[in-house]
Structure 1
């Protein structure tokens, strides 16, 4: 049974948890008492283990410390540990980042050099093969090892983890995913510099996923320096998932106060991206050539014409999901149906299955051309929500309802349909989602997200 204790001020509490198969038992209370006990049962051992690990993380975040921790647990920095590097063994991993054996070979070599990452690889691999209490114990030891060597594993970014402006997920001794972003208005963290440091970090050599939150709470939220940092760092051959703009609007900032700038320099050094998500305004994309990309999403209140043309002429033959928010003319949106004709024709999109042409002020014009769009027959999901679809557009869709009969999902929500238009579409295209409409005003219709 793992026992955690919290001693601070007048607080003197314990929390224990025991995992067994598809159940675990927790006991908690004031130290020196028997406390209270509760047993929970789950559908499977995997589900129980997942919830077990979640609860342990929550307790550790609140300040609970494993009781009776020894030298292998959450001790201080091991000054004798040094980072080692073997370019040949790293090249084997870079060639096939999913090859577990390549990590294990590198781990053996790192252990022979006294590098704690070797032990971390062994612990995390063993944990992935174990179940129940054994897996939990191995994960705890891996976490303790990471905490014991913050400088070696994270360099100057160890402080960013402490301030909760950098969160990382470790996999086989290396950072697999990371999120960087200012925490609040009191933060002075330079996110661009932190991005540069992260990509240069030996522990992030094989990073797969990167998310960038708020670059700045003070004034405009500008990602220009972050984009430059990615490009100057040389990007990453292993990065497959990139999300720039992970913030809540309007709570953190408005989309229109966020500047993505020209991201083309970063895309050129990320050749193996599979998912790309961008949120903000003032976007430039340049010539897009992403041969491995499967999903592309841009969420904006004002998409400039240059970006639309980049998307329409992009080279991404494996793309399966495309989602574009066009935005409001009042916030910089440009272009119309004629500018996305290559998309409607399915040009260069042989694998596209999901298409979102959302948040536009030309939704009625879209409704006129969608029934005969060459790309339509290959789609499984179509989304034209958050726009300005009126009853006139609804009639155009209803008149050609058969063209949409093959779709598994057709999203028309958050437009400006009246009850009459909703009823018309519900009868003509029963599988379409037509509810949750915004207020209709004939002389003033706008995209759902502009500012």
Structure 2
């Protein structure tokens, strides 16, 4: 329940307010007393929300100030040496179990949580349900130690979703609080608390949602947080988990300079980016297996970083190029380093998506070196037309080894679809778009905004 206090002269008063659906509860009085309580029931939740906002505004105008709750739970224990041992082998349960013994000896509830969650991962049938209940009860009882007041509040506001494994937060999704959230802090505060809290020290999978629900979304502040407190065990990072165009257009989102983040997280195996205005710098990620960049207008510098990267373990590469109106000015020759498989010995999936230059790309694909090593090829959301389908069909032998070819959301007619329908084992041709006679060829990408 949000609490506001007013201290001035001889006055020492508090006011608390709680909103649940269409019920508004307030409590007030002198600080140190239980005070009085009043409950109001409204016909509709929005009426209760309006009353809530009105009363909060009235109190703040009178000088009441929001009081953030303080952590009163025992501080979690930590053993850097044992944590370093886990970091060297983050998927080996033995390191966690050794840590659990030490923590239980210190009276820290994380030790029991590690043991319970490890047992749950090995259990079957009814035993799993029994252990889940024990885990939930333990986490609720020791929420203050395992999460703290700040992160607990963010979980309640759905600004933080956390998945646990062996006593620590394994995966997390951080996003801006909803417009009607009671929280006083934003996504930067949440991410900062998560990365500094003992429960987040072994984070493996991080997803960042929309950074700001008002105006242009900018990930620059989050980049600074990740650079300042880089999660050492992080394996998977997704920056840009938002719905477009519902939450934001791709071109409105500024990913910014991600080079410092990439340098700070050299052990990534998966990196997914969604948005615009992105700079990547030198892509030195020797463990990376999957890379995806979804853009409505790919900057040339970002593409140059991709083509010059040496990724000895990369198996999945997907890039959305976008519209020329947003900077995606490319031709087939610009893709040649990838088609030559430069620095991509393990590549099995290639996605050249949202391409405005399908006419110059199609002739190069059949002759490319990289095609021979691929299992799947994604050309979706682009500008393939019947003439391009003829080029692909004329080189059918080059594509027959593929397990899947995706040409959905292009500009093919039934004639073009028929030409390539049997190029390989599976050809996806759904949701083709019309060709508009604009005097310039009528090509336009599916996501050009």
- Range into which the TM-score falls when normalised by the shorter chain: 0.7 to 0.9
Q: 1:80 to 1:230 in 2, by over 3 A?
A: closer
2:147 match: secondary structure: helix
Q: Give the distance between the partners of 1:277 and 1:163, measured in 2 at CA.
A: 25
Q: Is the 8 A contact 2:400 2:423 kept in 1?
A: no
* 1:103 corresponds to 2:96: yes
> Counterpart in 2 of 1:222?
218
Q: What SS class does the counterpart of residue 84 from structure 2 fall into?
A: helix
Unpaired runs of 5+ residues, structure 1, are 1-7, 10-76
Aligned pairs, how many?
Answer: 377
For the pair 1:340 / 2:338, whether they are aligned, the reply is no
Q: Does 1:142 align with 2:138?
A: no
- Aligned residues: CA RMSD: 2.0
Q: How does 1:137-286 map to 2 (within 5 A)?
A: 137-155=130-148, 156-187=150-181, 189-233=185-229, 235-286=230-281
1:129 Cα deviation after fit:
2.3
Cα distance change on mapping 1:203 and 1:431 into 2, 3 Å: closer
Cα offsets for 1:81-136 (capped at 9, x unmatched)? 33111111111101101111110110010011011101111111122222233221
1:22-69 CA distance string (max 9 Å, x none): xxxxxxxxxxxxxxxxxxxxxxxxxxxxxxxxxxxxxxxxxxxxxxxx
TM-score (normalizing by structure 2): 0.80
Structure 1 residue 349, shift from structure 2 partner: 0.2
- Tell me what 1:408 maps to: 403
Larger Rg: 2
Per-residue deviation, residues 298-355 of structure 1 (Å, max 9, x unmatched): 1110101000101111122100000000000112213332222111100000000000
- SS of aligned partner of 1:447: coil
Could you tell me how far apart the structure 2 residues matched to 1:282 and 1:81 are? Answer: 44
Structure 1 partner of 2:39: none
Q: Rate the CA distance shift 1:119–1:78 in 2: closer, same or farther, 3 A.
A: farther
Cα offset for 1:80? 6.2
CA distance 1:224–1:430, shift in 2 (3 Å): same
Map of 1:450 onto structure 2 = 448
Distance 1:151 1:123 in 2: 19
Which stretches of structure 1, 4 residues or longer, exceed 4 Å deviation after superposition? 77-80, 427-430
2:288 & 2:334 partners in 1: Cα distance? 22
Give the equivalent residue in structure 2 for 1:437: 432
Instruction: Give the equivalent residue in structure 2 for 1:392.
Output: 387
For 1:92 and 1:343, the matched residues in 2 are separated by 38
Deviation at 1:428, TM superposition (A): 5.5
Task: Give yes or no for contact 1:386–1:447 (8 Å, CA) kept in 2.
Answer: yes
TM score, norm. by length of structure 1? 0.80
Task: Determine if contact 1:81/1:116 at 8 Å carries over to the other structure.
Answer: no
Deviation string, structure 1 residues 239-285 (Cα, Å, up to 9, x no partner): 11111111111111111111111111111111111111111111111
| Conserved 8 A contact 1:323-1:357 | yes
Whole-Å Cα distance in 2 between the matches of residues 431 and 78 of structure 1?
Answer: 56
Match of 1:126 in 2: 119
Residue 79 of structure 1 deviates from its aligned partner by: 5.4
- The range that moved more, 107-116 or 331-340, is 331-340
More displaced 10-residue stretch of structure 1: 110-119 or 415-424: 415-424
Secondary structure in 2 aligned to 1:222? Answer: coil
Alpha-carbon distance between aligned partners in 1 of 2:132 and 2:364, rounded to the nearest angstrom: 55
Give yes or no for contact 2:403–2:425 (8 Å, CA) kept in 1.
Answer: no
Q: Contact 2:227–2:260 (CA<8 Å) still a contact in 1? A: yes
Query: How far off is 1:401 after superposition?
Result: 0.9
SS in 2 for 1:123: helix
Q: Is the 8 A contact 2:401 2:424 kept in 1?
A: no
Contact 2:217 2:252 in 1 (8 A): yes
1:71 paired residue number = none
How many Å apart are 1:160 and its aligned residue? 0.4
Report the Cα distance in structure 2 between the residues aligned to 1:163 and 1:78, rounded to whole angstroms: 18
- Segments of structure 2 that go 5 or more residues without pairing to the other structure are 1-19, 22-69
Cα distance, 1:332–1:100 mapped onto 2, change above 3 Å = same
Distance in 1, Cα, partners of 2:73 & 2:427: 64
Q: Mapping of 1:329-368 within 5 angstroms?
A: 329-368=324-363
In structure 1, the partner of 2:78 is 85
